[in-house]
Amino acid sequence: MPNYTVTVATGTQWFAGTDDYIYMTLVGSERCSERTLLDKPLYNDFERGAVDSYDISVGEDLGEIELVKIEKKKYWMHDDWYCKYITVKTPYGDYIEFPCFRWLVDDKEVILRDGRARLAQHDKTGVAKQHRRKELEQRQKTYRWKEWHPGFPMSIDAKAHSELPRDIQFDSEKGVDFVLNYSKAIENLYVNQFMHMFQSSWGDFADFERIFVRIKNTISEYVMEHWKEDFMFGYQFLNGCNPVVIRKCTEIPDKFPVTQKIVQDSLERGLTLEEELKEGNIFIADYELLDGVTPNATDPCTLQYLAAPICLLYKNSQNKIMPIAIQLGQRPGEDNPIFLPSDDEYDWLLAKIWVRSSDFHVHQTVTHLLRTHLISEVYGIAMFRQLPAVHPVFKLLLPHIRFTIAINTKAREQLICECGLFDKANGTGGGGHVELVQKSMKTFTYRSLCFPEAIKARGMESREELPYYFYRDDGCSVWEAVTSFVTDVVDIYYDKDETVQEDEEIQAFVKDVCSFGMQDFDMCEFPKSLQTKEQLVEYLTIVIFTASAQHAAVNFGQYDWCSWIPNSPPTMRKPPPTKKGEVDLKYIVESLPDRGRSCWHLGAVWALSQFQENELFLGMYPDEHFIEKPVKEAMVKFRKNLAEVAKVIKCRNEGKKLPYYYFSPDRIPNSVAV
């Protein structure tokens, strides 16, 4: 009588063990095995981290094993069970691996294909084709699109984290409870005593140190010491939290009537403004997106204000980016003066503070929320809906959408919802952040997610012209490493362009992203199909890079650059000045966030800058969804390339007072999970 030996590995996740009945059926090309009971309740099998083996006897040879069916049946109370993988040893001594890495919940069954990745057109048997089709049919019922707000990218149809499919939930919901995490952060930062002092202004800038100096942080301390300096202000456009707004200016816009006479004292080379423009030494940061956005009005005791400034910047003879003119509104006029470095100290300082506050809003809502969190969720939902677990692209992308849908759902539940935590301290709370996303979506394009193209579109690609743009340099290095890895994997499964065209599942995935996830917005220009291997490589590189490297670059520096409140005020309590010469220190301090809002902000940027427990960084793939040797070799090569990038970044940072490490691969989590 033929004997099959089945080895079952249980995960180490919380509540990974089971005291329910576990049954297994082997589905072969010739016949199926009997439904076999592997474990009875209270037998202590399937405990967390256990690897258990069982013999399954069959009357006749099953043929080639195509599927493994696992069933969990309730004993007393349902006990969720996380299965890592199953290995089947045939009577002929062959070992077949069946990756699982899924939860079995309730009385549902899970059916697994073996670990070899296959495209749909390469499946030959009816059993394989039927399994593939049924898996996607079930997934499309489970992972449904829903519009959270009009004009937003679509999101998952779930009101709360607990409603999500178990496979995409966090292992422990407490770990991503924003209320709990912010409270912990505030406690760790020793600012509890200020938490309820809303409407209570600080006395002066030195007062902010009372909530700041508890945690040693090299960059944030440097910011505190130098935040008033024009050099520090300009440097952040290149290497701060939001290094994506600055662009080369080739022509002064009509709405910003800066003339040679106005800025001539700031130009060092003896050239006119027009000549400096032609030489490529003038840059601009325009926060037009904020124009008309409704400021936070959730607290009737505190008026809050927004501005939509324009800032002109100049690359001086030391290659430093320096501000030379700031206008705080989009429409020129007598009540909208152009502030200059030669103005009164407090006029110029307040103008810069307004720019920094506006930058904070665009960073949080557009650069961070929309362009990493929300777009990665779109890719994740479409992946689950259109790609079966056996598809190589599913296996490739799964680690890079890990916990993304969960963190976004939790954010919609607690953070950016109506009356959520975001409303407590942010000038765009109470709905302004929603307006900002809606406005930004009108200019959001697929090509803008391609890192090298996004840099070039802003005229920032030249290393000779801008030698200290580390965001660009390191980002391009990581982009190239990801592209190389994706190319290696694509080459294994797609021998020619026609194979891409014939892959109905990858075409459905791409179409789902555009037609449903991005709602076919006219401006987005997301592709609805892919025709070549090169297009597929770029598409998958964008997905992986956005979820890993780009998110890391704009998220994990938040405490560094935003914890010194005057450098990145989350709200302003007085309107932008309409005249020069009327501002003093008291006015500035009263414009800045009060004590309570400062503490909420500090707790938020600290919590958002922390890595998850047991974080998986770029290149780390402990769950072996791929079993093929060529893919594993590609992963080894990928890790080697990433290590070289990390080494270069580490060497460059040595001895620097302002190190730039956000693109260092050993600090880039695989996915958007915080």
Q: What is the pLDDT of residues 249-259, one digit of tens each?
A: 999 999 999 99
Q: Are 453 and 447 in contact (CB under 8 A)?
A: yes
Domain boundaries 3-114, corresponding CATH code = 2.60.60.20
Position 526 scores a pLDDT of 95
Numbered residues of the known binding site = 17, 39, 79-80, 368, 373, 551
Cα(182)–Cα(173) distance, integer angstroms: 15
Position 174 scores a pLDDT of 56
Position 523 scores a pLDDT of 77
Angle, vertex CA 594, rays to CA 590 and CA 595, nearest 5: 135
Q: What is the pLDDT of residues 470-512, one digit of tens each?
A: 999 999 999 999 999 999 999 999 999 999 999 999 999 999 9
Q: Are 3 and 55 in contact (CB under 8 A)?
A: yes
Q: What is the pLDDT of residues 337-357, one digit of tens each?
A: 999 999 999 999 999 999 999
Among residues 85, 580, 155, 660, the alpha carbon closest in space to that of 338 is found at: 580
Q: What is the pLDDT of residues 228-238, one digit of tens each?
A: 999 999 999 99
Q: Which of 95-99, 297-301, 321-325, 603-607 has the lowest mean pLDDT?
A: 603-607
Residue 226, C-beta contacts closer than 8 angstroms, at least 6 positions apart: 232
Position 77 scores a pLDDT of 65
Give the pair of three-digit tokens for residue 444: 């959001």
Q: Are 564 and 326 in contact (CB under 8 A)?
A: no
Q: Are 378 and 619 in contact (CB under 8 A)?
A: no
Section 443-469 average pLDDT: 97
Q: Are 325 and 258 in contact (CB under 8 A)?
A: yes
Q: Which of 321-325, 422-426, 526-530 has the lowest mean pLDDT?
A: 422-426
Q: Please give the single-letter amino acid code of residue 281.
A: N
Cα(382)–Cα(420) distance, integer angstroms: 28
Q: What is the side-by-side order of every strand in the sheet holding 3-10? A: 51-57, 3-10, 81-89, 95-104
Residue 402, SS3 per DSSP:
coil
Residue 321 φ/ψ, nearest 5 degrees: -90, 115
Numbered residues of the known binding site for Fe cation = 368, 373, 551
Q: Are 436 and 361 in contact (CB under 8 A)?
A: yes
Pairing of β 321-327 and β 3-10: unpaired
Whether 575 shows a pLDDT value over 60: the answer reads yes
Q: What is the pLDDT of residues 451-462, one digit of tens each?
A: 999 999 999 999
Among residues 637, 313, 603, the alpha carbon closest in space to that of 482 is found at: 637
Band of residue 561 on the pLDDT scale cut at 50, 70, 90: very high
When the candidates are 1.10.287.130, 3.10.20.30, 1.20.245.10, 1.10.10.10, the CATH number that belongs to 145-174+367-443+450-560+605-653 is 1.20.245.10
Band of residue 267 on the pLDDT scale cut at 50, 70, 90: very high
Position 84 scores a pLDDT of 94
Position 60 scores a pLDDT of 86
Phi/psi zone of residue 519: left (φ > 0), alpha (ψ -120 to 50 degrees), beta?
A: left
State the first-to-last Cα distance of the chain, in angstroms, to the nearest integer: 53
**Across the chain, what does the average pLDDT equal?**
92
Counting beta carbons within 10 angstroms of the beta carbon of residue 518, is it exposed (0 to 12), middle (13 to 18) or buried (19 or more)? buried
Give domain limits for the chain. Answer: 3-114, 145-174+367-443+450-560+605-653
Cα(597)–Cα(603) distance, integer angstroms: 10
Numbered residues of the known binding site for Ca(2+) = 17, 39, 79-80
User: Residue ranges of the alpha helices (H) in 40-193?
Assistant: 126-142, 178-188
Cα(554)–Cα(410) distance, integer angstroms: 20
Q: Specify the pTM.
A: 0.95
Angle, vertex CA 256, rays to CA 253 and CA 260, nearest 5: 90
Q: What is the pLDDT of residues 273-286, one digit of tens each?
A: 999 999 999 999 99
Section 182-205 average pLDDT: 60
Band of residue 610 on the pLDDT scale cut at 50, 70, 90: confident
Section 572-584 average pLDDT: 96
Q: Are 490 and 537 in contact (CB under 8 A)?
A: yes
Cα(256)–Cα(263) distance, integer angstroms: 13
Residue 365, SS3 per DSSP:
helix
Band of residue 15 on the pLDDT scale cut at 50, 70, 90: low
Q: Note the Cα 387 to chain centre separation in Å.
A: 21
Counting beta carbons within 10 angstroms of the beta carbon of residue 9, is it exposed (0 to 12), middle (13 to 18) or buried (19 or more)? middle
Band of residue 40 on the pLDDT scale cut at 50, 70, 90: low
Section 159-187 average pLDDT: 77
Whether 1 shows a pLDDT value over 80: the answer reads no
